[in-house]
Structure 1
Amino acid sequence: MTPTESGQVALELERMRGTMEAGFARVDGSLALLVQRSDQTDKQLADHEARLDALEKSRWPLASIAALTATAGVLVAVWQLAGR
């Protein structure tokens, strides 16, 4: 290999190195963005779970109240029919 060829090889290797560094920096930035979005999604999911749990806890008495009202309505109807 002549000195000129070796200089050209070194120059081409330096260009490839720069291209690789730029590519890795771009990929690294994209990965950081994905991690940030994943963290935000996890926080939103945890918030939605907490809100859903709160809604479920506050909702359970409604079914019980509806059942008691229906039972009371049936008892009143039976009492009225028995009274005639």
Structure 2
Amino acid sequence: MTAAPDPTTNVAVELAQLRGEINTGLENIKGTLGILVERTSRTDADVRQLRSDMDDELKKIREDELKPLRAEIEALKQSRWPLAQIGALTAVAGVVAAVIAIFVS
């Protein structure tokens, strides 16, 4: 007759297999997390580089496009009509014309 298997031996074998599966699963999770951390680090570095490149491009655009516009604005300021002085002269001319009209009539 064969002896019946010992239940404690079966439990010990099953526990050992379960430990092995858990360890394997945990190692898989650790590996996946390591990959995700590396990807996140790369993504952060890429975002910082893109932000730096974008700032440089914006500076170039501002310098290249705003300088001519500022020069054009300055040229317009210099060639504008002195409206305040023209208004004052027109008012004085109107007063003079009114005084002359009063004395002539």
TM-score category by the smaller chain?
A: 0.7 to 0.9
Q: Which runs of 4+ in 1 moved over 2 A?
A: 66-73
| Aligned twin of 2:69 | 66
Identify, as 1 or 2, the structure richer in helix. Answer: 1
Q: Compute the TM-score of the two structures, normalised by the length of structure 1.
A: 0.74
Distance 1:21 1:27 in 2: 10
| Aligned twin of 2:53 | 51
Q: Compute the TM-score of the two structures, normalised by the length of structure 2.
A: 0.61
| Aligned twin of 1:41 | 43
| Aligned twin of 2:30 | 28
Q: Where does the alignment leave 5 or more consecutive residues of structure 2 unmatched?
A: 82-105
CA RMSD between the two structures: 2.3
Q: Where does the alignment leave 5 or more consecutive residues of structure 1 unmatched?
A: 79-84
Larger Cα-atom Rg: 2
C-alpha displacement of 1:18: 0.3
Counterpart code for 1:22: T
Q: How many residues align?
A: 78
Distance 1:49 1:24 in 2: 37
